[in-house]
Amino acid sequence: MSFSVSRDPIDVAEIARSVRSDECGAVVTFAGVVRETSDDERAVTGLSYEAHDAMAVAEFERIAGEARDRFGPCIVAIAHRTGDLAVGDVSVAVAVAAPHRGAAFDACEYAIDELKKRAPVWKKEHYADGAAQWRENS
């Protein structure tokens, strides 16, 4: 299992490879990508992420354990990027391998939803008009 917070670009294919196992018939990935419009329809030029790295990784590990408890045997990897990201950059990736697709999908959805609620990672949106705003985790 792989859990990380880094300023380096995220390679989603590498995250998926890190969970691959001959015991698992399904690999599901999620990639969160910086989009050009905020939830309130403002034009976005990029995002800045900050995190408490060690605490975030520990939370990723807890979330993976909970996913295994809820959905059965699975291998989970989570990577989150920090620093300044442009539209189109991958900010977060989750990959889950499980024996069956249903469990892999459910565990992946659980992991990203819980990460967004609980991980000590903070997002600042930068707008085309020059303004910027910290956004609450959802």
Q: What is the mean pLDDT of residues 66-92?
A: 98
pTM score, whole prediction: 0.95
pLDDT tens digits, one per residue of 20-35:
999 999 999 999 999 9
Cα–Cα separations (whole angstroms), residue 21 to 36, 74, 93, 112? 36, 10, 18, 21
What's the CATH code of the domain at 97?
A: 3.90.1170.40
The percent of residues above 90 in pLDDT, for the chain, comes to 97
For 51, the domain range is 2-130
Q: Does some domain include residue 135?
A: no
**Could you give the CA distance from residue 60 to residue 116 in angstroms, rounded to a whole number?**
11
Q: What are phi and psi of 131, to 5 degrees?
A: -75, 165
Q: Does some domain include residue 105?
A: yes
Q: Does some domain include residue 136?
A: no
1, pLDDT greater than 80: no
Say how many domains are in the chain: 1
